[in-house]
A and B are shown apart, each in its own frame.
Chain A
Amino acid sequence: MEKFEKITGIAAPMPLVNIDTDMIIPKVFLKTIKRSGLGVNLFDEMRYDRQGNEIPDFVLNKPQYREARILVAGDNFGCGSSREHAPWALADFGIKVIVSTSFADIFFNNCFKNGMLPVILPQDQVDLLMKDAEKGANARMTVDLQAQEITTSDGTVIPFEVDAFKKHCLLNGLDDIGLTLEKATAIDRFETMSAQSRPWV
């Protein structure tokens, strides 16, 4: 997995609440057997008309946000299905950080598996970042995972919480499966014990 340490970039504002995974990547794009190339279809039904033309009003189509690397979003971002295509599409577009007051559980976990950082902050701080993001391309934010801080374009520093283990994996680009396989003996032991206590499983 790609390491995540610190990024500086444009933040795009999407204040809508309950942005679901069907919005992030509609199901027609789930038919792929690959992980790559989904960025062009990120937010497809909000971003393009039926003829495939860009809808100019959509935030990521605006000239100042086309290179966005951070998304500041409304409450309950990523609700809905378990499709990892949602974080794949965001990452492929270039968005590595999403800030919101809350995230749906599966989406939240999926982000960490793909070198992405979802940040949960209280409403007033999300509002502050939303205002900063609304300034456009000149307002670049910095997200520093090691320091657990977001710095706005005017230098305001907002600290954030992150799970220690997930932080460690992101900073070092660690592969979960490799880490778990180091515990193979414990898994073997559990299976032996379980075969005794719950033989019907």
Chain B
Amino acid sequence: MMRVRSWHIGILSWLALPKYLLGRTVCCKGTLTTAIGIFITYMTPTMMISDLLIGIVNQHKLISFFDRFKKVDERLARESIRCCNNALTLRIRALLAVTFLGECILAILSFYFFHDPRNLESLLVFVAAIPTLVTTIEKVWFASLLFALKERFEAVNTYLDQTVDNYVQKNRINEMLNDSDSWDLGYLHKEIFMKNPQYVSSVKKPNKIIPVVPWDETIPVKVYNEEKKPNPEQKESDLNDTLKMEVRLNGFCQIHDEICELGKLLNRMWSLQMLLLMAYGFMSITAQFYFLYCNIVNQNIPVLFRSARNVVISSIFIVYTAGKCVYVIYLSWQTKLEARKTGVCYHKIANAVDENNFYEIINHLSLKLLNHTVNFTACGFFDLDMTTLYSVTGAITSYLIILIQFNLAAHRTKRPDNNSLITTTSTQPTL
């Protein structure tokens, strides 16, 4: 299925190439712009072809990835954490919609503004949009899988957090119930609960009062059954049962481990694509900004970048391209953070329970967790991290400044009498 799809699109890619060759011959003779132009023209087809090739190579890995993923889900379900994929499907749909919309808008706008509808060749602009569309869809794959992983991590973390919360809450109620001798008032818990704040605040230290909600409501979907019942008999939560909890925590640690491994696999499958995506995003955004600047100062723009003649198109293009990169980076950053948070959650449990056995278990597990970190890199060149985004933004700005400086110098030497823009005057209106 995957292969069929890939080849199908591969044929289309060959259709798209002539347009690029055409574009190159039309490209103007300035050395700098030619260099950039060649790079960018061949970037998207290269990206697409590499995507497809790597996709074909990675088919088996992808299948095994899904198998393992399913296993993880089953294990989570055994711990009665249900990960619903609704958010994921919604997100995939939204991403696909955004992708199609962006590509279509770009293609249609550029067709509308710069092409002659009577000329059949100009329809090639739609064909030219295909490579970017395909590559973006590949990225949507990556992003959605990443998001799924992140959700699993989150599920584990929230589960652990809730366990702690429930435990703390339960202890508090236990204390209170012991005080008020109302152990068998099963369904009256709510009322006692209601009294709880005043009670606690008046008698005990004016501590933090956990928001007083009967715990049926505090517990969302992802909670196992024993804790849902507000019966005093079942108040013995798993946290009190050390052995049971040890098994459970061990299980979670293994699940975490497995998810981390999945993340590494995912990263290995997509690392080259990510590198290409970042390179492409960097190049194209810089170029687009530069030519937009050229357009604003009324200079000639090479035909290849005529989309920069229109501010709307170029802004859409920049936002769309930047959005792709930023979204991927943001997601991987979040996933990394969630993976790291698990260790903290484990320790929180240990702190809340405060028993010797527990400490031993958790110390043991947390060392394991410390060694098991998931990190997303682009071929190992740089982390897919927000810091990368920071540095890339800085790089784009400095390159832009350099390019503009070149440009200014060139124009000054051509027309020394012309009053060209000076930075001070351009900054003044913004004051």
Tell whether A and B belong to one assembly: no
Chain B residues close to A by CB (< 8 Å): none
